[in-house]
Structure 1
Amino acid sequence: MKTLGKVGLGLVGIVAALAGVVAYRTATFKPATAVDITAVKLAASVPVDQAKAAQHLSESIRFLTISHQDKAENDWSQWDGLHAWLATTYPAVHKAMVREILPNKALVYTWKGSDPALAPIVLMAHQDVVPVTAGTEKDWKHPPFEGVIAENAVWGRGSIDDKGSLVTIFESLEALAASGFQPKRTVIVVSGQDEEAGGTGAQAAAALFKQRGVKAEWVLDEGMAVVKDFPMVGKPVAVVGLGEKGYATLKIVAKASGGHSSAPPKETGVETLSKAILAITGSPFPLEFKGPGADMIRAIAPETGLMTRVVVANTWLFGGLLKSQLAKSPASAATLHTTIAPTMLKGSPKENVLPQDATAWINYRIAPGQTRADVMARAKAATKGLAVDLSWEAPGGNDPSPVSSTSSEGWKLLAALASDGGKTPVAPGLVTAGTDSRYMTGVAKDVYRFAPMHASIAEFGMIHGTNEHMSLENLRRMTDFYTRLIATAAG
């Protein structure tokens, strides 16, 4: 009995010690990405005429710079018109900055700084927009390409993605140039013409910079924003993208002899293909609590309830529980692992004919720390023994971008501005889609992805969807953000 008593006391002691460690780590937990915004000296905003900014965004929407899947369908005269309109609308910018129109209609603007020892900064916003799905035009409250200003917003395709950023960057530059501002640090603007269809313009700009030996301090592009109803806290959180997932589509082909469906072989090509798909999806990449997705959760933890803070501050103990909870949300899970999504199938052209080959396409969004080679190796291991051929769908995709710093001066500046004077928590994030900025790897020390607009999760659904619009309040936020950003970073 005495021995049992000692064992019991020992267990109580272990539990007490464990509880003490958990309590201490919770009480002292501080995200590594936290920024003391009071230590960041921000320049004052330069006034921007908001009525003119709204009118200019409206006018930009009327240029049909639509990137079609088949580029032969693009009306390139619309891009020429947009370029001429920019020159007329922003005379101070075109006097202060050197404009280069690349052969593919991408734009590069350079405002040379007075101190060549300072690395430049690069702001990005693309010119093109996605089409409006045929038949849905009638569902828009206002015509998608008229740029109607109504209900305290500018309506139309591209008002957010990404002419909203393009116009507010130029509004800010115009106000600064007209005010007599002279940058010490060089400011570069890159505007690709085909972000929605591959990003060849951004690639051309990046190649130009590498040829010239340009090494930027940081790049800022679209990608993330302020989520008004962030799930963990139900209030606004500014999420700044540190990196992008890689992108690749796997093509799986199961060859077969074909023939009449009345005399099928023991296993058809469709059956073999089905087994291959199930084998691949049945071997998912595990969730790992690391990288920008994990850093986002850590950054938000101080704003959450006690139990969430306890779990996040003590992942050494509760890591399994945390991952199981995050796995319940596809959006949350996607930030913590490489995703596998079968999207397309092709078999016989007729129901009573056995196909000579059955094909499937699986789209991958590759998490930082992994590569297309890792994905292919896992797929081949999963389908070992099955008569299928695996290859990358052209043009082959891309690996994840590097993860940018959360200790750099660029991060501190962006966090200070995004926090809106400390009123909004700021968190790093991982962009699960793709932006032009991925091509700036090697051009800049860090690449960030953020536009300072506020919207709910539901409202973000209008991007590439119906009734896309930029509120006048967001328009004001964006011009204020960019003027202060440029004046602080380059002043």
Structure 2
Amino acid sequence: MQLAEQLKRRSPMEIGIMATIFLGLLAFIYTLIPDSTQPLETNFCPQYKPLVPNYNLSYYNSNYFYTSEYSNKSLTQFQGAIKIPTVSYDDLPMDVTKDPRFKVFKTLHEYFEKTFPLTSQYVEFVNEYGLLYTIQGSNPSLKPVVLMSHQDVVPVAESSLDLWDYPPFEAHFDGEYIHGRGSSDTKNSLLAILEATETLLEQDYSPERTLILSFGFDEEISGYRGAGELGKTIHDRYGDDGIEVIIDEGSGVAPIAGARVVALTVAEKGYVDINVSLDTTGGHSSLPPDHTNIGIISEFVTLLEQNPFPPELNEGNPVLPYFQCLAEHAPKLNEQIRRTVLEIEKGSHKKDFIEYVSGIPLVKYLIRTSQAADVIQGGSKVNALPERTTVSVNHRINIGSSVADIVERFEKFATDLARKYDFGVVSFGETLIEPTAKGVFTIGAPRTLETAPLSPTSGEIWEKVAGTSLHVFNPETNPFIDNDTPVFVAPAVFPANTDTRHYWSNTRAIYRFNPVFQEDMIEYHTVNERLRWRSHLTSTAWFYDFILNTTL
């Protein structure tokens, strides 16, 4: 599929944005500047040897998961899971016992018990529907490994059913793609983890390090009922930094500039929705003030949009290391771009890099905080002056910035307008300007999430994640990669948030990675969601190898 078509077909789903962003960026910058032929020797992005599992079983074969025998078995298992419509709805209550729509997850659990009987011996249920599997290791002094996924999928709009090539919960397989809601997001990783674990247990797997599988059931609505409770349970048992490493959904393996880039997400942007309300006196619209509160709130939004957050390549942002990896290992990257990235320590080159990134809509928010005024509410009758108008503005916080930076900015614009119109300002319960008879601005936020702690990009754990990836996505072991395609690992940043937000205290080593070919995940969160089957087989092989590489 051509890049332009991919970008055109992207859904609003946050989880796959990373690879698409980078594909768009590289397609853009590749033609910007003429090539230079002078070599430049650097070592910003060292790579590692493929890590082959040291598993002393005569029947271990890295090609096992690509056989037709295994593929047919796996397909049947995957289809069975997609057929169970484990949908998360925005209006679900926090108390999972209060809504019968949660009960569909019990149907999925019964299916797992039947399909994965050996793994199911280790399951316990957290907050009714969270799945927590603990396979105890022989050495309790070793920190456990946690593999995460989520059971839920986004809804299918009734009005869209006629647009699907195949019914969304039919799990149709056309010989190349498996179709259905959840096929890409993310019953792929859910089933791949369970299949890999079941295969190991069939081979009398007995780990030295404890293996934990943790599957929430409401990730699509922020995960507070599922991952929120699972994360607490794990923390209660193992304490702060009690986990060796966590793997959850995230970036994939993308074809870029003549190479395959294994993008391991080591950072997530923060998140906050700021609500600003303006309360004023009402009245009849035949005698309006010069500016109603709808007009003034609109002025506030205009101030925000006229003053966007500036681009900042802050310390720790993986965008630069990602491009340094491209510069060192992608053979078809434009040579002038290569030099710009590798000579970034020179002040002018850093400025150039920021300008390149800032000039591309799909990419610029990897180095700046985004803002989007998404909801505005005010007024109830066309001949009555509104007494309260509220706007909600969504932000994804840049690496190196904070919720406090955003709040400070809102307070500045609110106080400027308050002085202009003689209003008060109350921000998060604190009075900044005393309310007046004319009105008051009120600033608040229902939830805040700072940027995620940065995960290590060196050391033993990083080398195991990278080494496993370089083994599984090696042309010598993976039949779906051309022999002349270089494969390398690079750190990446994710502009959205995963269930790992509820696990930060458990470990700093959190990697958000889908071991799939990125271009194989099609239309997630929208009509005709599907996954190319080769990616599921590769995912299962990756989890199988990673479990062996980290727990034995």
Same structural fold, with TM-score higher than 0.5 when normalized by the shorter chain = yes
Aligned CA-pair RMSD? 2.2
CA deviation digits over 1:372-415, x for unaligned, max 9? 12210122123322236343342x13111101000032222222
Which whole-Å CA distance do the structure 1 matches of 2:154 and 2:247 have between them? 21
Q: What amino acid maps onto 1:296 in structure 2?
A: Y
CA deviation digits over 1:175-230, x for unaligned, max 9? 111012211111100000111112121111111122112511110000111223x4
- Residue matched to 1:455: 518
Is the counterpart of residue 413 in structure 1 residue 459 in structure 2? Answer: no
- Residue matched to 1:383: 414
TM-score, normalisation: structure 2: 0.79
Identify the range of structure 1 (149-158 vs 472-481) with the bigger mean alpha-carbon deviation: 149-158
Which whole-Å CA distance do the structure 2 matches of 1:415 and 1:286 have between them? 33
Following TM superposition, by how much is the alpha carbon of 1:460 offset from its aligned partner in structure 2, in angstroms? 4.7
CA deviation digits over 1:397-446, x for unaligned, max 9? 31111010000322222222333238323221111112111211111231
SS in 1 for 2:392: strand
Give structure 2 stretches of 5+ with no counterpart: 1-35, 55-60, 94-98, 419-439, 476-485
2:48 is aligned, of 36, 43, 50, to 36
1:397 is aligned, of 434, 448, 457, to 448
Q: What amino acid maps onto 1:102 in structure 2?
A: V
Is contact 2:145-2:210 (8 Å) kept? Answer: yes
Following TM superposition, by how much is the alpha carbon of 1:103 offset from its aligned partner in structure 2, in angstroms? 2.2
SS in 2 for 1:174: helix
- Residue matched to 1:7: none
CA deviation digits over 1:319-348, x for unaligned, max 9? 112111111223311111211111111122
- The correspondence of residues 120-131 of structure 1 with structure 2, limited to 5 A, is 120-131=144-155
Following TM superposition, by how much is the alpha carbon of 1:65 offset from its aligned partner in structure 2, in angstroms? 1.0
SS in 2 for 1:379: helix
Q: What amino acid maps onto 2:110 in structure 1?
A: A
- The correspondence of residues 70-81 of structure 1 with structure 2, limited to 5 A, is 70-71=91-92, 75-81=101-107
Following TM superposition, by how much is the alpha carbon of 1:129 offset from its aligned partner in structure 2, in angstroms? 0.6
Is contact 2:265-2:511 (8 Å) kept? Answer: yes
Is the counterpart of residue 208 in structure 1 residue 233 in structure 2? Answer: yes
- Residue matched to 1:90: 116
- Residue matched to 1:158: 182
Which whole-Å CA distance do the structure 2 matches of 1:47 and 1:93 have between them? 20
Q: What amino acid maps onto 1:211 in structure 2?
A: D
Following TM superposition, by how much is the alpha carbon of 1:235 offset from its aligned partner in structure 2, in angstroms? 5.1
Is contact 1:342-1:360 (8 Å) kept? Answer: yes
1:63 is aligned, of 61, 71, 84, to 84
1:346 is aligned, of 360, 372, 377, to 377
Distance 1:120 1:61, change over 3 A: same
- Residue matched to 1:370: 401
Identify the range of structure 1 (205-214 vs 429-438) with the bigger mean alpha-carbon deviation: 205-214
Give structure 1 stretches of 5+ with no counterpart: 1-21
- Residue matched to 2:342: 313
Percent identity (aligned): 28
- Residue matched to 1:217: 244
TM-score, normalisation: structure 1: 0.88
Q: What amino acid maps onto 1:484 in structure 2?
A: D
Which whole-Å CA distance do the structure 2 matches of 1:461 and 1:345 have between them? 32
Which whole-Å CA distance do the structure 1 matches of 2:273 and 2:442 have between them? 10
- Residue matched to 2:528: 467
Which whole-Å CA distance do the structure 2 matches of 1:53 and 1:179 have between them? 17
Which whole-Å CA distance do the structure 2 matches of 1:334 and 1:276 have between them? 22
Identify the range of structure 1 (70-79 vs 321-330) with the bigger mean alpha-carbon deviation: 70-79
Is contact 1:23-1:310 (8 Å) kept? Answer: no
Q: What amino acid maps onto 2:43 in structure 1?
A: K
Is contact 2:310-2:368 (8 Å) kept? Answer: yes
Identify the range of structure 1 (459-468 vs 415-424) with the bigger mean alpha-carbon deviation: 415-424
SS in 2 for 1:450: strand
Following TM superposition, by how much is the alpha carbon of 1:258 offset from its aligned partner in structure 2, in angstroms? 2.7
Which whole-Å CA distance do the structure 2 matches of 1:107 and 1:69 have between them? 21
SS in 2 for 1:65: coil
Following TM superposition, by how much is the alpha carbon of 1:23 offset from its aligned partner in structure 2, in angstroms? 11
Following TM superposition, by how much is the alpha carbon of 1:241 offset from its aligned partner in structure 2, in angstroms? 0.8
Q: What amino acid maps onto 2:102 in structure 1?
A: W
- Residue matched to 2:57: none
- Residue matched to 2:364: 333
Following TM superposition, by how much is the alpha carbon of 1:266 offset from its aligned partner in structure 2, in angstroms? 1.9
Q: Number of aligned residue pairs: give it.
A: 459
SS in 2 for 1:354: coil
- Residue matched to 1:53: 74
Q: What amino acid maps onto 1:410 in structure 2?
A: I
CA deviation digits over 1:253-290, x for unaligned, max 9? 12222333333212221221122112223333221224
